[in-house]
Structure 1
Amino acid sequence: MDHLRLIVTFARAAEAGSFSKAARTLGVTPQAVSAQIRQLEQQVGVRLFYRTTRSINLTEEGRAFHERCRVGMETIQGGLDVLRDRTEQMVGTVRLALPYAISYELVAPLMGRFLDRYPQIRVDMLTLNQLPDVVEHGVDVGIIGGELPSSSLVARKAGAFNHVLCASPAYLDEWGVPDHVDALRGHRCVLLRHPRTGRLWPWTFQSGGDIVTLNPEGALSVQDAESQHRAVLHGAGIGQIASYYAAPHIRAGRLRPVSIGYVSRQVDVHLYLPQRDHIPLRCRALADYLLAGLKRNPDLVPATF
């Protein structure tokens, strides 16, 4: 690394034809430039400049060395230009990490318009229900529902959702509609395990002025929200379903809410970046686009039916 610093100083002095001009370019004193040139000459065992009180000139060895340095410096500058272009232009790949259900229901429908707008950007979607190690997986942009476990992430709230207790009309027509919490014990319940803890999500109900927590016996327990959603939609039983999934199906009559005092806490949805600085323009473009798209989604809010 020290060799590289000395070589850069030498190249600047050779190009400028003056230690003073090179010093101004490098932001150091002429004495520092002179000292670094002497240090380089001592290391290579060759004089690189003829010096007088008024001027400097390259020796034959200095000219040969400068020609090699010039080619190397141009190569390095070309590499820097490529990096700068990829950072400042809408080109390259963005690695997007998000839970499967959010990907399927909320984000995948937005991607066509984004790719139309930015045809030179490629998006690599990594679907994981657990928050990934952003370094290990090379995450550029991420979305997560619930609390952010890492304070090092740069996050912005994109919206929120709650859960809706519901079932298919076919199931309720066959099994009846429960009219109180205890009546759930005679129904098939479709339960979801928390993606990070593996525990079954409890169900909570308003009873008078109290909140009652119920851990129903599940006829079906699943590991991912999408499987739960599909099972309830196709008549497996009653489940607490994310409002952004349930809302359009309830409007279309494919699901019916079960109104027996069920209440749900709000779950925030965050869009996050691994760091605040030096974000390539392609990553910022995707983050801004998704943030705006999620905020416009009418079903990504706590819903009541």
Structure 2
Amino acid sequence: MDKLQAMEIFVQVVDAGGFTRAAENMQLPKATVSTLIRNLEQELRVKLLNRTTRQISVTPDGAAYYERCQTILADVRDAEEALSQSKSSPRGRLRVEVPTALARTLIIPALPSFYERYPEIELEMGCTDRTVDLVEEGVDCAVRGGDLADSTLVARRVGSIALATCAAPSYLALHGTPTHPNDLLAHRCINYFSARTGKVHDWIFARGEERLQLRVPGRIAINDSNGYLAAGIAGLGVGQMAAYMVKPYVQTGQLEPVLTDWCSNVIPMHVVYPQNRHLSAKVRAFVEWVSELLADEDRMRTGLHDCPNRKALLADAAQADPATA
């Protein structure tokens, strides 16, 4: 029995949720798939799958074996890729996770340039603001901002995102325009909280030698960037959002920057991947492309308002960042 083929078929059966769809995906007869899984179970002397007339489910032994199979098959693919003569043209499936707003506003619109450079990569992109378990969910790498709590991951710094403090004209007409960060303590603000910890994020400002870190009051807290933006446009309060995300709405007058003589916080951005996986050609290609994209965004964000203290905030972020670069 070809053990690698049997392992690959087993992974396909689990992913597809049944023999029929797995056989269709692999363009094999269903009987062949069923026979190979049965032979694999006999050789391993364990039951990998519970079978009924309607569905299959993975046994505890099967779940453990599935995880090991994924790792082994990924290592085999990476080894073949590393030995390939076409190293400059990585190929195959690449599963990535990116924050929702970053995907919608920057990454997805720029994907034509990615495919021009890497036409043989099959990209599967999950868009979410939650912290995904890369190993459990079979993700090759993820783009993450801010503090990196999971020390089991390797992180590569790919850039930074500046925040801008904004509010809808309707809100400012009713409540006035803050002229100092401390004025926010008497305003309604839109808070952002971590989907992982539930912690509400502080707001950070810098001007000259001054540094302020505030826990601002608010009647609403949101953990999704698109929802957060919608709340700001709806006039629910003052918000602190990624400058690249709010720039189009400032240009159309739906949002107005406030406290423009103060620099808002700078969020370091990383691509993270599991420690037990070396940086494959596919992941390396994505890392390099995202780095270029965010470096270009560095120039774009100055169109909102310039920040003379941006370098200081970047230095603060780098000093507080425990991740490897």
TM-score by length of 1: 0.61
Letter in 2 for 1:99: P
| TM-superposed deviation, 1:198 | 1.0
Aligned-partner SS, 1:135: coil
Letter in 1 for 2:288: D
Partner of 2:201: 201
Query: Do the aligned residues in 2 keep the contact of 1:139 with 1:274 (CA within 8 Å)?
Result: no
| TM-superposed deviation, 1:168 | 1.8
| TM-superposed deviation, 1:167 | 0.7
CA distance in 1, matches of 2:187, 2:92: 51
> For residues 260 and 122 of structure 1, do their structure 2 counterparts lie closer, same or farther at Cα, with a shift above 3 Å needed?
closer
Partner of 1:283: 283
Partner of 1:93: 93
Report whether the alignment pairs 1:228 with 2:224: no
| TM-superposed deviation, 1:257 | 1.5
After TM superposition, list the pairs within 5 Å mapping 1:143-222 onto structure 2.
143-181=143-181, 183-184=183-184, 187-204=187-204, 211-222=211-222
Map Cα deviations across residues 43-80 of structure 1 (whole Å, 9 max, x no partner).
xxxxxxxxxxxxxxxxxxxxxxxxxxxxxxxxxxxxx8
> For residues 98 and 81 of structure 1, do their structure 2 counterparts lie closer, same or farther at Cα, with a shift above 3 Å needed?
closer
| TM-superposed deviation, 1:144 | 0.7
CA distance in 1, matches of 2:77, 2:233: 53
CA distance in 1, matches of 2:161, 2:278: 32
After TM superposition, list the pairs within 5 Å mapping 1:3-14 onto structure 2.
none
Letter in 2 for 1:98: V
Partner of 2:80: 84
Query: Do the aligned residues in 2 keep the contact of 1:160 with 1:268 (CA within 8 Å)?
Result: yes
Query: Do the aligned residues in 2 keep the contact of 1:94 with 1:122 (CA within 8 Å)?
Result: yes
| TM-superposed deviation, 1:232 | 0.6
> For residues 81 and 243 of structure 1, do their structure 2 counterparts lie closer, same or farther at Cα, with a shift above 3 Å needed?
closer
Aligned-partner SS, 1:288: helix
Uncovered stretches (5+) of structure 2, i.e. residues with no partner:
1-75, 308-325
Letter in 1 for 2:256: R
Partner of 1:255: 255
> For residues 149 and 300 of structure 1, do their structure 2 counterparts lie closer, same or farther at Cα, with a shift above 3 Å needed?
farther
Partner of 1:23: none
The 10-residue stretch of structure 1 (104-113 or 203-212) with the greater mean CA deviation from structure 2 = 203-212
Letter in 1 for 2:178: P
Letter in 2 for 1:84: E
Partner of 2:242: 242
Letter in 2 for 1:158: V
Structural RMSD (CA):
3.5
Aligned-partner SS, 1:162: strand
Paired-residue identity, %: 30
Letter in 2 for 1:92: G
| TM-superposed deviation, 1:212 | 4.5
> For residues 201 and 230 of structure 1, do their structure 2 counterparts lie closer, same or farther at Cα, with a shift above 3 Å needed?
same
Partner of 2:141: 141
Letter in 1 for 2:140: D
Report whether the alignment pairs 1:123 with 2:123: yes
Query: Do the aligned residues in 1 keep the contact of 2:81 with 2:281 (CA within 8 Å)?
Result: no
Uncovered stretches (5+) of structure 1, i.e. residues with no partner:
1-79
| TM-superposed deviation, 1:86 | 9.4
Aligned-partner SS, 2:227: helix
| TM-superposed deviation, 1:186 | 5.0
Aligned-partner SS, 2:197: coil
> For residues 205 and 282 of structure 1, do their structure 2 counterparts lie closer, same or farther at Cα, with a shift above 3 Å needed?
closer
